[in-house]
Amino acid sequence: MTARKLVSIGVGGSVLMLVLAGCMVFNAPPVAEFSFDPTAGWAPLEVHFDASASHDPDGQITRYDWEFGDGATDTGIQVSHTYHQAGTYTIRFHAIDNDGDFTTRERTLVIEEPPIDLVSVSPVYSPILAFVSITAKNLLSVPIAYGEIVIVFLDAFGQELEQVVTPLVGVPPFQQWTYTVFSSVPNPGDVHEIIVFIGRVEVP
């Protein structure tokens, strides 16, 4: 933006009008930087994003806007998002300063299919009992050093009543197994839904 100033100077009874051109005023755009952790993994995966390294050279950042690549968005310096499906996602972070200028930074995140397949999940809940029978399989040609199958028992309002993490250690290649997990909720009749998913997995 150019600033101009009109100046009147009296010279011998006449008025000389001078227009003085001011200097150009520029706004430096913000610097957009962010990191995320973990940087890769299997679905479902919760990822934590941090834009605290972003800054504005001549002002301040007033908005931190996120696009996670799966249609979801959020606002904040530090945010978290869970990716439920495997795929390659382009994350767009927008740093917006107090003058309305913005800078966008993009990074790519790859979410893979979990190496453990839930072949079948058979939940049972009644007034006297709540449990789930699970058949799972190691899809890898190498052993799974450690893995987790997570079972969540929910009430009629979708609130978590109990979470059970079943650890898997040294599962051989392509092995399939079946087991049952019972809820220890004091009143089994409160259980109206059971969710099962793969948690952390480590391979050699």
Q: How far apart are CA 29 and CA 21, in angstroms?
A: 25
In the DSSP assignment, the letter for residue 29 is P
DSSP 66-99: EE-SSS-EEESSEEEEEE-S-EEEEEEEEEEETT
Q: Which is nearest to 49 in space by CA: 91, 104, 9? A: 91
Amino acid 42: pLDDT = 83
Query: Is a pLDDT exceeding 70 seen at residue 73?
Result: yes
The predicted structure's pLDDT at residue 121: 96
pLDDT digits 0-9 by tens, 142-200: 999 999 999 999 999 999 999 999 999 999 999 999 999 999 999 999 999 999 988 88
Quote the mean pLDDT of the chain: 88
Residue with the two structure tokens 């009543």: 161
Question: Which tokens sit at 10?
Answer: 């009296």
Global model pTM greater than 0.95: no
Burial code of 51-90, b = ≥16 C-beta within 10 A, e = fewer?
beebebeeeebeebbbbbbbeeeeeeeebebebeeeeebe
Cβ contact 164:150 at 8 Å: yes
Domain 116-202, second-level architecture: Sandwich (2.60)
Spell 163-180 as b/e; 16+ CB within 10 A means b. Answer: ebeeebeebeeeeeeeee
pLDDT tens column, 80-136: 999 988 999 999 999 999 999 999 999 999 998 889 999 999 999 999 999 999 999
Alpha-carbon distances of 124 from 34, 134, 177, 180, 191, rounded to whole Å: 44, 11, 19, 11, 9
Q: Indicate the CATH number for domain 1-113.
A: 2.60.40.10
pLDDT of 20 strictly over 70 = no
Q: Do domains 1-113 and 116-202 have the same CATH topology?
A: yes
Cα dist. 120→98, 132, 136, 147, 162 in Å? 53, 10, 7, 18, 21
User: What are the structural domain ranges in the chain?
Assistant: 1-113, 116-202
Which range scores top for mean pLDDT: 38-42, 73-77, 111-115? 73-77
pLDDT of amino acid 25: 65
> Does pLDDT of 27 surpass 90?
no
Confidence of residue 41 (pLDDT cuts 50, 70, 90): confident
